[in-house]
Amino acid sequence: MALKPTTSRQQKHLAVLIDADNASAAIVEGLFEEIAKYGLASVKRIYGDWTLPNLGGWKQVLLDYSIQPIQQFAYTKGKNATDSSLIIDAMDLLYTRRFDGFCLVSSDSDFTRLAARLREEGLEVIGFGEQKTPKPFVTACDKFIYTELLRADADIPESEPTTPTTTPDTPAPKAESQPATTPVPAAVAPQKIPVKLITKVIDDISDEEGWGHMAALGENLRKLKSDFDPRLYGYKKLTDLIKARNGQFELQERGTTATGGKVLYVRNRKSGK
């Protein structure tokens, strides 16, 4: 089962393994804020040759974030012993059966097989890396988050609702011109919203009237595209993105009989009746 943002009552235990050679210390604050959405970082280890000056940035933040540095000398020039050390530790931690998932922080495709192996054991794998990360590693993870977003996360403004949500007794508003997209942070290359993919998923999960559960939409999008992230398109949440496309999609709030809370449903306007 995919890891979702958790509450204190259902805390997931995660092992965070960082490849210091392929990750910048500038992401550390955003990294652990993001990880906290999915569970508790029970183990935090970072791998590299700490005798080298290029890891100086990480040395300054290790104590602040209680990250355990693992020293790994390069045995041969041109060979990355750090990767092997991280992989061995990951397998050791896997067989303790104490973790619900792993967070692999690297832009290196050498961890593709590791991600796949962890998933074979039924564990969730969340990858973190730069946009240059090779596609095989991205798709090998259940979810992949680009670290450029972690540096610029505070600069992404909250999107304002463009139209009120509808209820079963309220007719859907007429399609309006699409509002200007919220500016994407400078650190992230602008990407086009995958409207066709979103529409396809809504069609797949919808009922006879075209309505689909909003939570199911987000979950299925991540299954089909592990690096799907509303922040890549200028929105903090998927709901904000859907509201901004009010000419294409519409939202509906429904009450739940069990808790009395509200549940969001989404529909492609073109399929509405």
pLDDT of residue 77: 55
User: Per-residue confidence at 76, pLDDT binned at 50, 70, 90?
Assistant: low
Mean pLDDT of the chain: 83
* Token code pair at residue 96: 């303790």
For residue range 50-72, list pLDDT tens digits in order: 998 989 999 989 999 999 999 98
d(CA 231, CA 171): 30
Please tell me whether residue 106 adopts helix, strand or coil conformation.
coil
Which pTM was predicted? Answer: 0.77
Mean pLDDT along residues 244-252:
87
More confidently predicted of 14 and 262: 14
Q: What is the pLDDT of residue 187?
A: 54
Please state, in angstroms and rounded to a whole number, the distance separating the CA atoms of residues 233 and 64.
32
